[in-house]
Structure 1
Amino acid sequence: PVIEIMRIGADTVLVSITNSRDRKRRWSTAFEMEIMPPVKSPTWSWQSSTLLSTYSDEFDNYLDGLSSLELLTRDLIWKIIEYVPEAVFQLRATSRTLRSQVDSFALQPATVPLVKELVFTGAISRFLSPTLDVSMYVPKGKSALFELRLKLREPLHGSNTTVHRTHFALSGRPNIYNANLNTVIDDENSWAHLRGAIGRRIEKVAMNQCITRETLLTISAMLETIKFKKLKVANDQLSSTFAKVITRTVIKCEVDHLFMSFRKLVFRKVNPVAFLIDLSTFVKSMHLYQSEKKTEFDASRKFFFGCEDIEWAPVFLEMFSRRLNKLCIENYTYPLYLTRDSADALRKRLPQMKKKFWFASTCEAYPNGLNYTSNSHLVQASDNELGSRFFTVKYASREKERFVF
């Protein structure tokens, strides 16, 4: 990148940054920044005049040897790094002054999100391995700064955690950094530098087959200080420990959108219905996907989320009375879980509540279909692209919305 600095006022400069290495992806940006006025020199007595003169000459010589970029204030240099994080290693190699400035910036809490997605993958079986795989998806333009943050945070005594980078040949695809954690042996010092390098804010977190208690507690500790909007969970089974960790994570990490894919619930100390209602207090949208082994189900059962033969309308209405305004349920195995009575209650009550709702669920209560509008809400029952019948109640302006995780 090319950096140009021009004074446009007594205390103001205009900084322009241009990247012209690739004509197809050329970009530029500019911003104004105030310059701090120089600090007035203290008054010296005649006894110190000789010493002051010597120091002044040395300082003038030092300033004469600095480039225009090195003479910028720390705040301005840090602002430049924010705009061109891919140039941190080139800036570090320029001089000791800039190296110190870049390292100081990299050791600060991240001011911009560096990691787009953080993925935790556990062992398929709790008996196979205590290893937890951590994948960090970092946009290419921010990879250099992320690598520097990793390097500067490595423990002095070394770490059991090694980070490997994977490149994608396609432009626009992020770099993936992988690390393996032993959830039994490794302590916090083994992976704390990962958390420090990641920063305090990312876009999305995913948990795949994170079943064991040790795995869930490690993830919970690692996410302790990180904020993110999307949480995706794909587990074969959901346990009581899982429910507690997810609830804690949703609250502390300020999650807005939650996706959960599951086959079986093994809640011993947690009420499934109460768990869903509690989550609805904190998230804006929820997507629940229930799967089942094809040889182990009876399609005539009215079964969902560990509950048999209950009316779900009161539960969903209670969930919508809280922060939740968007709910999608895919239960292809047991589509009869949502009875005609519950579906009728939802299509009557939801349009009358003071919210712009978005609700969709697999449902076979209306074989002849539905298609009408009630209080600006579209009420429909029809087959989707795969031939499965869905029942939906959506505010008119939200009809085209989709769940994207």
Structure 2
Amino acid sequence: LIVSAFMGCCLSQSPSSKGETTPQVVNFPRKDSGKLSVKSVEEVNDVFPLELLPLDLFFAILDYAEDSFSALSLVSRTLQYRVQDYVLSRGTHVGDFAISTKTNRNNELEIAIKLDVRTCDSKLFERRTFIGRPIDLHEILRSRRHGVVIYEMKFEVIDFESMIGFMRRTFGKFLTQVSIECDKGYIYRILEKFAFKKLRITYTTLTDATMSRLLQTIEKHGIDQLSLKIQENETSLPLNELYRLSELVRSLRIEQLSVDQNRHNFMFGIPDLHWDTIILNMFSGKLDKLELVNTDFPGYISYWGVKILEEKLPLLKKEIWFSASCSEYSEECEYDVDGYSVDVIRTSPSHHIISIKHSPRVNEKFEE
């Protein structure tokens, strides 16, 4: 109430009347001026009181006067710029950030972005979208779910650099998690402007070129958690690439998507590998959390492979978290050994899951 009364007073107050003396006042710079100047009251008789406040004090008032933004922006150009500066300086917490592309019927590039923002940040976020909105942005959809507002934006790319600048100003620097639904070079150009530690990406076919871009992104951004969905793998040294991933990230999830393969052992887009040995080797790097999902080819970890993992994973001098699809012939079990919880459970007639987790991590989910 005090802030509202103060704002109302300042918005309705006329400029100071002239006195017998001419006091000196500091005229804080407008957007188009980089210097402070000292002017007499006569020279600033068109200045509103709020324009004379130090910027940090003005911003502190705006923290409690969000509903006054529109009214303030109409008072003067100086206040309009100050409100815009405030909006752009206040970060909003962007959660999941998904990006995909397609070519429209006119053979023009379209980029679709879906992101969520906490409900408490949504008003500020929406104001940011209207500051310097590029002509590329032709649609914004909004929905709500569980304390967040979900925005879907569609860009018809006309000026790529302008579009990237808008994204950086609007979304802020930090993204909680990024999802890429296609692998294009310009997607990585967009992501260069942001900081994020969690990445989800889907590949129809993983190649040497796409793997190279992925590894560069992981190293550049310091990705700590990676989720991969993959159908086919055409990399020249797939095992080397897999071990490289386990050296770079702490948490890794790999899901084998459905493919037309008449095989019992098929994972990471590769047939006929000894995955029990591979898994043990992967935990020799930075990796300490691994989830493997393969409902179509659960036999990639055989009955004996499950037995080997049950025996050897708890012996690693590492507090690991491991969960994987495994052979339909696996024996169900549940026991604790050497500080680890070991479970093999049947989830369907043709599918089991093996879980070996350091006891304090038993209740962790992969996304944590």
TM-score normalized by structure 2? 0.77
**Secondary structure, in 3 states, of the residue corresponding to 2:147?**
coil
What SS does the corresponding residue of 1:164 show, helix, strand or coil?
strand
- The equivalent residue for 2:49 is 66
State the partner residue of 2:9.
none
The offset of 1:104, in angstroms, is 2.4
Partner of 2:94: 115
Match of 2:252 among 278, 286, 294: 286
- Any residues of structure 2 matched to 1:70-149 within 5 Å, and which? 72-79=53-60, 88-93=69-74, 96-108=77-89, 112-123=91-102, 130-149=109-128
Q: 1:163: Cα distance to partner? A: 4.4
Cα drift, residue 330 of structure 1 = 0.9
Judge conservation of contact 1:361–1:392 (CA < 8 Å) in 2: yes
Work out whether 1:242 is the aligned partner of 2:210.
Answer: yes
Whole-angstrom distance in 1 between the partners of 2:4 and 2:140: 33
Note if contact 2:140-2:154 (Cα within 8 Å) is conserved in structure 1.
Answer: no
Cα-to-partner distance string for 1:203-226 (whole Å, 9 max, x where unaligned): 121122x14xxxx21110001021
SS in structure 1 at match of 2:299: helix
The SS at the match of 1:263 is strand
Note closer, same or farther for the CA distance 1:74–1:56 as it changes in structure 2 (3 Å cut).
closer
Deviation for aligned residue 1:231: 1.6
Return 5+ residue gaps in structure 2 as ranges.
7-20, 26-37
In the TM superposition, what is the alpha-carbon distance from 1:81 to its structure 2 partner? 5.0
Distance 1:136 1:88, change over 3 A: farther
Which residue does 1:277 correspond to in 2? 243
- Specify the code of the residue in structure 2 equivalent to 1:290: Q
Q: 1:302 to 1:75 in 2, by over 3 A?
A: same
Distance 1:403 1:290 in 2: 17
Q: Which amino acid aligns with 2:83?
A: V
* Cα deviation code 1:132-183 (max 9, x no counterpart): 32233333443443344344445xxxx551242223266734141412244x
Contact 2:230–2:269 (Cα < 8 Å) also in 1: no
Give the aligned partner of residue 35 of structure 1: none
Residue aligning to 1:194: 167
1:165/1:175 contact within 8 Å kept: no
Name structure 1 gaps, 5 residues minimum. Answer: 7-49
Q: Matches of 2:305 and 2:2 in 1, distance apart?
A: 63
C-alpha change, 1:349 and 1:341, in structure 2 (3 Å) is same
Deviation at 1:315, TM superposition (A): 2.6
Which TM-score applies when normalising by structure 1? 0.71
The alpha-carbon distance between structure 1 residues 59 and 117, as it changes in their structure 2 partners (threshold 3 A), is farther
Asked whether the equivalents of residues 85 and 141 of structure 1 are also in contact (C-alpha less than 8 Å), the reply is no
Aligned counterpart in structure 1 of residue 191 of structure 2, from 214, 223, 239: 223
Q: Which residue of 1 aligns with 2:261?
A: 297
CA apart distance, 1:87? 6.1
Distance in 2 between residues matched to 1:59 and 1:312, nearest whole Å: 82
SS in 2 for 1:116: strand
The answer to which of 193-202 and 360-369 deviates more is 360-369
* 1:283-328: CA deviation from partner (whole Å, max 9, x where unpaired): 22111111214xx232x52121132222223332332222221111
- Which among 274, 291, 307 is matched to residue 344 of structure 1? 307
The answer (yes or no) to whether the contact 1:137–1:176 under 8 Å persists in 2 is yes
Cα separation, 2, equivalents of 1:171 and 1:93: 35
Contact 1:114 / 1:139 at 8 angstroms: preserved in 2?
yes
Query: What letter is aligned with 1:320?
Result: F
**Which position in structure 2 is the counterpart of 1:37?**
none
Task: Verify the 8 A CA contact 2:69 2:83 in the aligned structure 1.
Answer: yes
Distance 1:373 1:91, change over 3 A: farther
Alpha carbons 2:201, 2:227 under 8 Å: kept: yes
Judging by fraction of residues, say which structure has more strand. 2
- Structure 2 residue matching 1:281: 3-state secondary structure: helix
Deviation at 1:96, TM superposition (A): 4.9
Query: Is the 1:181–1:191 contact (alpha carbons within 8 Å) kept by the matching residues of 2?
Result: no
| Whole-angstrom CA distance in 2 between matches of 1:82 and 1:384 | 51
CA contact (8 A) 1:231 1:257 kept: yes
Pairwise CA distance, 1:5: 11
Aligned to 1:41: none
Structure-2 change in CA distance of 1:145 and 1:74 (3 Å): same
Give the whole-Å Cα distance in 2 for the aligned partners of 1:244 and 1:342. Answer: 31
Question: Deviation at 1:191?
Answer: 3.5
Range that drifts further, 371-380 or 242-251: 242-251
Given that 1:233 and 1:260 are in contact with CA atoms closer than 8 Å, whether structure 2 keeps it comes out as yes
> CA offsets per residue over residues 185-217 of structure 1, 9 Å max, x none?
754344432233222101121122x14xxxx21
Pairwise CA distance, 1:273: 1.9
1:57-110 CA-partner distances (Å, limit 9, x unpaired): 61898799525xx665323443565677676445534655543322223455xx
Tell me how many residue pairs correspond in the alignment.
341
CA drift of 1:329 comes to 0.6
- Decide whether aligned partners of structure 1 residues 153 and 383 sit closer, same or farther in structure 2, where only a CA change above 3 A counts: same
1:334 to partner: Cα distance: 1.2
Name the counterpart of 1:379: 342
2:275 counterpart residue number: 312
Question: 2 CA distance for matches of 1:186 and 1:96?
Answer: 27
